Structure 1
Amino acid sequence: MTIQALLFDKDGTLFDFSKTWNNYTLGVIEHFAAGSAERMQWIAETIEFDLVGCAFLPTSPIIAGTNREAAELLASAIDGKDADEVEIYLSESAKHVPLAPVLPLKPYLSDLKENGFALGVVTNDSEQAARDHLRSAEALDVFDFVAGYDSGFGEKPDPDPLLAFAQQIKSTPDKVAMIGDSTHDLIAGRRAGMVTIGVLTGLATETVLAEFADVILPDISHIPDWLTSA
């Protein structure tokens, strides 16, 4: 097996999902509940978020969904708010979320780059949010390709954004590894004909990912050793 390129998901892969988004989401719920405990509970139930544990349920559609899908789901639980208004709020407020990288990204990614790997990010977040978050982590300039659900290639689990990466770096899909924490990531990788690497820094368990992953690693720090052994 020869891997020439690594394509990463963002949330739950480069950034620890729970550490980054749980407290932020609680703040979003509180914002739209506007002081109503009943409304707060209803919003949380709609998006499948545990208020007591301050955590998403593994079945929440927001975990692997797009920003637009999250906005539409939230809007369905909020009187007097449409999805456009909610989406704008999510986009603006997410710019300030305290990010929790799985590891220091800049040195890690720079080492991969120096070893000859092309690097990309495909996320179901917006492209601008992805660029903002990667820039905040001082890692944006290391990537050859960054695509969000709104970049014109489609969204995971469709393979098209993954294939766009392979085309841009002039590689065949079988020489690319798709790395992600959700079934959306790995199904997209399988559909694209790529090697699939599951990581456990999101909410999906090893059992859930196993059907779609060629290998499952605790987190992205284990990828260099796996590449060497593979």
Structure 2
Amino acid sequence: MQPLRGLLFDKDGTLLDYGASWPPINREAGLLAADGDAMLAANLLRRAGADPETGQALADSLLAAGNTEELAQAWHEAGSPLGIAPLVERLDALFQAAVGRMVPVCELSALFDRLRARDLALGIASSDSAAAVSATATHFGIAPHLSFIAGYDSGYGAKPGPGMVQAFCATCGLAPDEVAVIGDNAHDMEMGRAAAAALRIGVLTGTGTRATLEPISDLCLGSIAELEIALFP
């Protein structure tokens, strides 16, 4: 394997602690899509793989790994009275507005500062919108360390396709075998495999479990706080 020169991170469940951040937002999203109808909201959340009482999503479910367009399509088909386009717009606005309520898995700015000191190119590839990714990077002080940001709406295709990894490589002048993809769901690992990334690193701070991630990853870590020890012992 070539020495690593780039790290491409998923956002939710990887940089951000999913269980500490997203369950209440998921419930709000369901109620939004149901236009305030609590019974319909519960059905929509179940359809997307989340517990309507807690908002916690299952590994690799639509709310855990899908993008807003996929979610809006599914919820519209399941009875949301909102049209798909306005539902996408309103969900994206909700998710972006929730950035200040997110809980990072560690001190992100310090970690990214140390990784950049190793001359690594750093990027984020998310199923959230590019605007939400950018807002997250700014909020947590890691924007200056990033060479690449992509959301589902950036034009590189959606996970689990290889487009975001390929765009990261093209932007940073890297080959796929010089890049590690880090994420908490099968979509992230499949994206890395589709792009022939050097390493696929699963983390357990999202909805994925050791049972779902170990068989499809090269490394499975408790969190990105363990990255430096795992990659640079």
Same fold (TM over 0.5): yes
- SS of match in other structure, 1:161: helix
1:35-184 correspondence to structure 2 within 5 Å: 36-58=37-59, 60-97=61-98, 98-184=101-187
What is the deviation of 1:35? Answer: 5.0
Shift of 1:41: 2.6
Residue 124 of structure 1, CA deviation: 1.5
Task: Give the fraction of aligned pairs with identical amino acids, expressed as a percent.
Answer: 31
SS of 1:132's equivalent in the other structure is: helix
Q: Is the counterpart of residue 210 in structure 1 residue 214 in structure 2?
A: yes
CA distance in 1, matches of 2:181, 2:225: 15
Shift of 1:45: 2.2
* Change over 3 Å in CA distance of 1:38–1:88 after alignment to 2: same
- Please give the alpha-carbon distance, in whole angstroms, between the structure 2 residues aligned to 1:23 and 1:79: 19
Matched-pair contact (CA < 8 Å) for 2:205–2:223? yes
What do residues 16-43 of structure 1 show as CA deviations (whole Å, max 9, x unaligned)?
1222211011122234445544323322
1:19 maps to 20
Alpha-carbon spacing, 1:90–1:173, altered in 2? closer, same or farther (3 Å)? same
Which of 190, 202, 213 is matched with 1:198 structurally? Answer: 202
The residue type paired with residue 177 of structure 1 is A
Using the size of structure 2 for normalisation, the TM-score is 0.92
CA contact (8 A) 1:62 1:69 kept: no
Q: Distance in 1 between matches of 2:74 and 2:170?
A: 34
Q: CA RMSD in A?
A: 1.6
Distance 1:32 1:179 in 2: 30
- Deviation at 1:126? 1.5
Q: TM-score, normalised by structure 1?
A: 0.93
**Across the two proteins, how many residue pairs are aligned to each other?**
229
Separation in structure 2 between the aligned mates of residue 211 and residue 79 of structure 1, nearest angstrom: 36
In the alignment, structure 2 segments of 5+ residues that lack a partner are none
Structure-1 separation of matches of 2:196 and 2:69: 27
Aligned twin of 1:185: 188
Deviations 1:112-171 (A, max 9, x none): 001211101111212111111211112122100011122121121111210111122112
Secondary structure, counterpart of 2:12 in structure 1:
coil
Letter in 2 for 1:45: R
SS at 1:119 equivalent: strand
- Does the 8 Å contact 2:34/2:80 carry over to 1? no
